[in-house]
């Protein structure tokens, strides 16, 4: 049986596990009354979602864990991506727990989240700098078309702080993307598929298996999370997905590809930064609301249209990313 067929089997296993776990866990979350609170300043169309169970990310995390731990592909790379996924997922879970179970609206304070995120990110950066055959180099996308740059870019002593920054930024960008039914799970499904194909073709078997498990989990979660959502992933899920994507990209040395294949994540985060900076400097807002998906909502786009368009853009960007590989 070829490795590619085995990858398809892992996607199927993770997909089925997510469906099965969802049918048990979602009613349990309802009984716990861990409903999502909707921001008063958010779009009015979201008020009907108030009370929808959140913290559904534990469904995906459990499916990914079972799928990868039974794959027979366990090695240091697998442990690191699991560490990143579970570590960031734990930070999100604690934040969700404080907000929806203990009913403290603020959740974890920003500095508390940041300390945890930076700690995990630095560990990943140090690991990669010590074990990667590329050492402190990262692959340059479209290197054939960029003058004065080679296939690899050596970051030297800046490698660890740069990688740590990328991990934290990516994780929080995915978290910002999780604002519409099926948006973050659908975008991550496509991005994870890209990394699974790359890892399979370029000799990262454990990363390929993990990416396949992530793909299947996102696909299965869409059964419950697509409009109208029966459950939200919460910070538990979005932080875990962000940690997974960041670790996969870094361990495959595709760090600089994240803004390309994860262009939607990048745009969502950039829209928030632009909005905040513009308001502080000029008192004016560039967007009707940030993150970016809310701007389109307030511009009259239906939620389902925004999600499908963002999925389509991600698919196109992943195809572009494939052409950017050497």
172 is in an annotated binding site: no
What pLDDT does residue 60 have? Answer: 98
Model's pTM, two decimal places? Answer: 0.94
- Going from N- to C-terminal start, the domains of the chain cover 3-257
> Nearest CA to 77 among 211, 238, 273?
211
Answer yes or no: are the C-beta atoms of 194 and 319 closer than 8 Å.
no
What b/e string do you get for 24-46 counting C-beta neighbours within 10 Å, with b at 16 or more? ebbeebeeeebbbebeeeebeeb
Report residue 153 as tokens.
Answer: 């870019």
What's residue 143's pLDDT? Answer: 79
Q: What is the per-residue burial (b if ≥16 Cβ within 10 Å, else e) of 165-201?
A: ebbbbbbbbbbbbbbbbbbbbbbbbbbbbbbbbbbbe
Q: Which residues pair with 138 in a beta bridge?
A: 153
- pLDDT > 90? residue 251: yes
Average pLDDT, the chain: 92
Instruction: Report pLDDT for 149.
Output: 73
The pLDDT score that the predictor gives to residue 307 is 98
100 falls in which pLDDT band (50, 70, 90)? Answer: confident
CA angle (279, 282, 283) in 5-degree steps:
50
Beta-carbon neighbour count of residue 47 at 10 Å?
Answer: 11
CA distance between the termini of the chain: 28
Distance CA 6, CA 242 (A): 25
Q: What is the pLDDT of residues 157-204, one digit of tens each?
A: 999 999 999 999 999 999 999 999 999 999 999 999 999 999 999 989
Burial class (CB in 10 A: 0-12, 13-18, 19+), 144: exposed
Cβ neighbour number for residue 326 with a 10 Å cutoff:
11
pLDDT higher than threshold 80 for residue 247: yes
4 has pLDDT over 90: no
**Average pLDDT for residues 88-112, to the nearest whole number?**
89
pLDDT confidence of 48, banded at 50, 70, 90?
Answer: low
- One DSSP character per residue, 66-118 reads HHHHTSS--SHHHHHHHHHHHHHHHHHHHHHIIIIIS--TT-S-HHHHHHHHH
What's residue 26's pLDDT? 95
Q: By the 8 A CB rule, do 265 and 173 touch? A: yes
Mean per-residue pLDDT, 258-272: 97
Is 235 flagged in the annotation as binding? yes
pLDDT of residue 101: 81
Check residues 203 and 90 and name the one with the higher pLDDT.
Answer: 90
């Amino acid at each position: 049986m070829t490795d590619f067929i085995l990858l398809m089997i892992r996607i199927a296993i993770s997909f089925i596990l997510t469906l099965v776990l969802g049918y048990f866990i979602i009613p349990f979350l309802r009984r716990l009354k861990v409903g999502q609170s909707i921001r008063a300043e958010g779009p009015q169309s979201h008020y009907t979602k108030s009370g929808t169970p959140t913290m559904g990310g534990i469904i995906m995390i459990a499916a990914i864990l079972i799928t990868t731990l039974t794959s027979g592909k366990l090695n240091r790379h697998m442990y690191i991506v699991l560490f990143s996924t579970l570590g960031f997922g734990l930070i999100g879970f604690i934040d969700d727990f404080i907000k929806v179970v203990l009913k403290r609206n603020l959740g974890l304070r920003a500095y508390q989240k940041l300390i945890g995120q930076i700690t995990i990110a630095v560990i990943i950066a140090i690991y990669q700098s010590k074990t990667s055959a590329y050492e402190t180099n990262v692959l340059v996308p479209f290197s054939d078309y960029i003058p004065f740059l080679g296939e690899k870019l050596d970051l030297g002593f800046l490698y660890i702080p740069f990688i740590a920054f990328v991990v934290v930024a990516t994780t929080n960008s995915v978290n910002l993307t999780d604002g519409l039914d099926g948006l973050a799970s659908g975008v991550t499904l496509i991005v994870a598929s890209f990394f699974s194909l790359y890892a399979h073709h370029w000799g990262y078997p454990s990363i390929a298996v993990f990416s396949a498990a992530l793909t299947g989990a996102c696909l299965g979660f869409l059964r419950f999370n697509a409009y109208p959502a029966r459950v939200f992933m919460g910070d538990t899920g979005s932080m875990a997905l962000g940690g997974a994507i960041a670790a996969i990209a870094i361990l495959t040395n595709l760090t600089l590809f994240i803004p390309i294949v994860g262009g939607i994540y990048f745009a969502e985060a950039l829209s928030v930064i632009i909005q905040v900076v513009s308001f502080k400097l000029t008192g004016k807002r560039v967007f009707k609301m940030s993150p970016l998906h809310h701007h389109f909502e307030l511009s009259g786009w239906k939620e389902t249209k925004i999600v499908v368009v963002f999925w389509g853009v991600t698919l196109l960007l992943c195809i572009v990313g494939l052409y950017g590989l050497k």
